[in-house]
Structures are given as structure tokens and as C-alpha cells.
Amino acid sequence: MAYNEELTRRVRAALTGVRAVEEKRMFGGVAFMIHGKMCISARDDRIMCRIDPALHESAVEREGCRTVKMKGREYRGFVHVDHAGMQTKRQLDYWVGLALAFNKKAKASKKRKKGNS
């Protein structure tokens, strides 16, 4: 599935001025890594944000937001936000702000050695 170029551009613009941003193709879209840690990803119709798990319950109460689920497992601290939750710049900036705030204290995932699966 192709990623949404307009949505990716909006996320990129929201991250203007943030240091140590790296873009990687993953999760079926473009992930924005900040200081080597996954912060936000943009795909076809939604963004995924890594937020403070302590804010998870209040976040999923907002319009357009739901918990990330993969292979039947819910991931606390990871949310999908669809179009309804990020129509305006202000709405998108809210989610980017939550993700950036958590990125400062989040731990990077362990690097895998090449050759290990």
C-alpha cells in the first residue's frame, strides 16, 4: 500500500526545527525517527504516534484516535490517529507535540546484530 505523500508532507512540516530527524520507510509508510527512536509514522490514511503510556487512556478518548493493535495485541503508548483527529494544523500539532514530549524520555529499541532474525 502506498503511503500518503500529503500526510507525510504535513508531518514533515510539523517537525520543522526539530533536530536529529531521520525518515525511514517502515510500517507501510514513512517513520520519523528522532534521536534514533521511532516517534511518528505516516501511512495511507493515518499517523501512528508513540506517546507517554500514562496519557494513553485520555488520548484514545479524542476523536479519531485508537490504540495500535498488531496480531491481536494492544500496544499501550502507541496510537493511530485517522483523518478525523488531524484535519487541522492545530490537531496535527497536538499529536506531534505528544509524540515529541515522550520521545525525550523514551528508550530506543535495541539494535539487532546483522545475521540475527
Whole-angstrom distance, CA of residue 97 vs CA of residue 51: 9
Q: From residue 8, give the alpha-carbon distance in Å to each of 17, 47, 66, 96.
A: 16, 9, 20, 12
Q: What is this structure's pTM? A: 0.88
Kindly report, residue by residue over 78-116, the tens digit of the pLDDT: 999 999 999 999 999 999 999 999 999 998 776 656 665
Q: Which backbone phi and psi does 20 adopt, to 5 degrees?
A: 60, 40
Whole-angstrom distance, CA of residue 42 vs CA of residue 6: 10
Q: Which residues pair with 37 in a beta bridge?
A: 34
Kindly report, residue by residue over 21-80, the tens digit of the pLDDT: 999 998 789 999 999 999 999 998 899 999 999 999 999 999 999 999 999 999 999 999
Domain boundaries along the sequence of the chain: 5-103
Whole-angstrom distance, CA of residue 37 vs CA of residue 29: 16
Specify the CATH class of 5-103 in words: alpha beta
